[in-house]
Structure 1
Amino acid sequence: MTGTDTSSGVRPFRFGVVAPILNGLPAWRDQVRRIADSGYSTVLMPDVQQWQPAPGPALAIAATLAPELRVGTWVYASPLRAASSVAWESHSLSVLTEGRFEMGIGPGRPGMEEELRQSGLPVATPSGRLAQVRDAISALRELDGPDLHTPVVVAARGPKSWALATELADTIICAVPSESRDEAVRMATAARATRDMELALHVAVVGDERSAFMAGPDTDIAALRAKDSLLVLPADPKAAVEELLRRREEGGFSYIVIGANAAEVLAPAVAELTGR
């Protein structure tokens, strides 16, 4: 994980890519190598059962394809598996990648109740889902022990999830798709006032293109732009650089995660901003 620039309180930029396996393994392997060659720091896998391979095995392969990359989940949905199982897999990945794994976790996607029922899993309340996130992090810390610290990235939407993430996470994902820029910045500022931490943005739309597994097919891009949502970035690299600098200045956002379909488009911006 990148440290803070203690002279200014500003964290250097880093960039991650959500890279689901969509077009077969050979194409995905090539994609992972291109992501590494383009200067991105992290390859991430979504947690959507039955649509693609499970994130743990896929990330283990990605880590061997590009030893310079970090790998992580974006993000484990806490209702889908026992907290002890999430912790065990995460600790194992952290050990096997020699510290290059980041456990991204959250209370689950909106509307995933039907998926839980089809899997024969209980449909927990929102508070219950947050408790599952807490339990997974606690179990991971016990497995890591004093000699290993697996970075934890928590997706936060409402006030309760922001409070939990502020307490326990190394990085908070600002997962507020419907809110305006001002609302997202307000929540980020409140979190940073509590303690120093990395803030991440889930950028689901670059230009006019929606990224797979990062936004639903019914995403109203025009409505997001009207709200000045932080889910959207311009496709022009120069404009993207200016916008990302503004987002870091206003809200402290320094870890930017995009979809694999936009990785090549934004590569010039990544080259300019990484580590800056």
Structure 2
Amino acid sequence: MALLGNLRHRPARRLTRLFAGLVLYGVSMAMMIRSGLGLDPWDVFHQGLARQTGLSFGTVTIAVGALVLLLWIPLRQRPGLGTVSNVVVIGLVVDATVALLPAGLPLPVRAGLLLGGIVANGAATGLYLGARLGPGPRDGLMTGYVARRPGRSVRLVRTVIEVTVLALGWLLGGTVGVGTVGYALGIGPLTQFFIPRFAVPPAPVPTDPPRAAPGATAPGAGTPVPAEPTEPAPRVGTPVPAEPTEPAPRVGTPVPTAPTDPPPRVGTPGAEPPHASGAGRPGPVSGATALQGFGGDPR
């Protein structure tokens, strides 16, 4: 079960990218082989070891893969489904593609095969590593070191590994071509370019639900927590009753004045003429009296 990894998160998408990447990886290797312009650095290393030990190329390839897996231990890398599938699928696809591609092609066609093979190999690496189901034995060195040293880029680490392996293979007697150098210098930047574009996002980390208050039930887990009773809000459009007030007098209504004694008739003994004393004319209304009906303060 450990080899399968966590397939519960987008299993179809991850498996599709894994095997599509491995098939494309095998096709890209066959394109480089048919170009005849140089092997990739790891194959140069395998070739040099085979010449020095007398073992077959395939035997050396398997032995180197096993030794590289031992280097995973200090890097804390774990094999996955992609690790096992890398060994099986790529080898079968390389043999089938080499059998389909003709040999002895013109130099421009071979150069196109070499260039296309290098670019396709970078895309294939991004596809199968982006599935997050485990790297191949040799790619695990890169991913493990980058994981342990976050400040290092994939481009730098992959280029250093490829150039180092290429130098060792050349010292052991391996054949180095223009395609070998181009692969060693180009595969690092290509891998860094394609991995983020093909990577499947990791599964979201579950978070703890908020704790409910003592005596209350969490939302969705049972009976909702009852809220405190509140007075119902008035409906929209319902007029709010105002406090009763005294009706204001209408404008134009005469203000009642205090009753006065009727003036004496003219000709009555002891009476003065009405215009002489001013008793026959109504007196002016004071401001204090006018404000009494509107609630004004007379003082």
TM-score band, normalised by shorter chain: under 0.3
Structure with larger RCO (C-alpha < 8 A, sep 6+): 2
Q: Which protein has the bigger helix share?
A: 2
Q: Which protein has the bigger strand share?
A: 1
Which structure has the larger Rg?
Answer: 2
